[in-house]
Amino acid sequence: EQFTVRGPDSPVTASLDGEAVLPCHLSPSISAENMEVRWFRSQYSAVVHLYRNRQDQYVQQMPEYRGRTELLKDDISSGRISLRIYDVRPSDHGQYTCLVQSRVSSEEALLELQVAGMGSDPDISLEGHRDGGVQLGCRSSGWYPQPEAEWRDQQGQLLPSASESSSQAAGGLFQTEIATVLTDMSNQKVSCHVWNPRLDQGRESAVSVAELFFPKDNPWMVPLGVILPLLAGLIALASYCYWRQHQGKGDVTRGGRGTLWGDRQDLKPNQK
């Protein structure tokens, strides 16, 4: 009997570490109990799950799917041959083929599984002073796919980012970092938003920055920067002048004593 294989019209979305059900059925709704049902990825030999001779076959199954798949057979007599995947991983994301073979025909349907995962709450840290303001950093990890991030003030307005970067760990999950510089003390309360565009969901953390953390321009700093060196120079000059004056007095005293003593020596013969 002739049949076609049909899957969903739109991608199937599944959450990380959760379960995914890939729908597939025959049209018309005939039994698939005596048919071969092969779920595979990009190649025919890349078997995700194989049903043949009225039972599951695991010899050809890819190692990364072992123990994580189940062909739902409750309605197999009605032509429903959906596949359940447990413990969804980032590597499960992509296209799948549902291939059904009978004695006389072979048909298939192509499906797409979109994997998405929510990461951690944003962690906000004070990174120091920059460009006359306070730099704040925001970090969040465990996202899939790559998330988007932004800073907003307490009115919900976007704040410019000073830097932004993302990295992908060995397991396929993403970490994102974004920084902003607050120069206006009126924007003391800000929030970091990180969200998953695939799920259209996100996480948010907020922080209030006290005014004392902002660098302040002290009006006395510039005058003191000029006065203190000048005062040091005046003290050095006064010390030098005092030293010169003291040395001059010493020379005069020694010279005067020599002259008076010489006069006394000259007067002695005349007194005889």
- Tell me what percent of the residues of the chain surpass a pLDDT of 90: 68
Highest mean pLDDT among 2-6, 216-220, 222-226: 2-6
- Does position 236 have pLDDT exceeding 60, yes or no? yes
Q: What is the mean pLDDT of residues 171-189?
A: 86
| Second CATH level (architecture) for the domain 123-213 | Sandwich (2.60)
Query: What pLDDT is recorded for position 112?
Result: 98
What does the H/E/C string look like for the chain?
A: CCCEEECCCCCEEEECCCCEEECCEEECCCCCCCCEEEEECCCCCCEEEEEECCEEECCCECHHHCCCEEECCCCHHHCECCEEECCCCHHHCEEEEEEEECCCCEEEEEEEEEEEECCCCCEEEEEEEECCEEEEEEEEEEEECCCEEEEEECCCCEECCCEEEEEECCCCCEEEEEEEEECCCCCCEEEEEEEECCCCEEEEEEEECCHHHCCCCCCCHHHHHHHHHHHHHHHHHHHHHHHHHHHHHHHHHHHHHHHHHHHHHHHHHHHC
The rounded mean pLDDT for the chain is 85
The confidence band for 263, taking pLDDT boundaries of 50, 70 and 90, is very low
What is the torsional sign of CA 130, 135, 139, 144? negative
- Does position 232 have pLDDT exceeding 90, yes or no? no
CA 168 to chain centroid = 10
- Residue found under tokens 């990174």: 127
The confidence band for 31, taking pLDDT boundaries of 50, 70 and 90, is very high
Of 47-51, 77-81, 266-270, where does mean pLDDT reach its minimum? Answer: 266-270
- Does position 220 have pLDDT exceeding 60, yes or no? no
Query: What pLDDT is recorded for position 269?
Result: 42
Query: What pLDDT is recorded for position 250?
Result: 52
Query: Exposure string (b/e) for 180-195, b if CB count within 10 Å is 16 or more?
Result: bbbeeeebbebbbbbb
> Nearest 10 degrees: CA dihedral of 175, 180, 185, 187?
-60
Q: What is the mean pLDDT of residues 214-243?
A: 61
Query: What pLDDT is recorded for position 138?
Result: 98
Query: For residue 15, which of 81, 109, 86 has the smallest C-alpha distance?
Result: 86
Query: What pLDDT is recorded for position 271?
Result: 41
- Does position 131 have pLDDT exceeding 60, yes or no? yes
Is the pTM higher than 0.75? The answer reads no
4-116 under CATH 2.60.40.1730, yes or no: no
The confidence band for 29, taking pLDDT boundaries of 50, 70 and 90, is very high
Query: What pLDDT is recorded for position 20?
Result: 98
**Domains of the chain by residue range:** 4-116, 123-213
**pLDDT digits 0-9 by tens, 134-174:** 899 999 999 999 999 999 998 999 999 999 999 999 889 99
Query: What pLDDT is recorded for position 264?
Result: 36
Query: For residue 120, which of 93, 141, 136 has the smallest C-alpha distance?
Result: 141
C-alpha distances (whole Å) from 166 to each of 13, 109, 142, 151, 201 are 23, 36, 11, 16, 18
Of 12-16, 24-28, 68-72, 256-260, where does mean pLDDT reach its minimum? Answer: 256-260
123-213 shares the fold of 4-116? yes
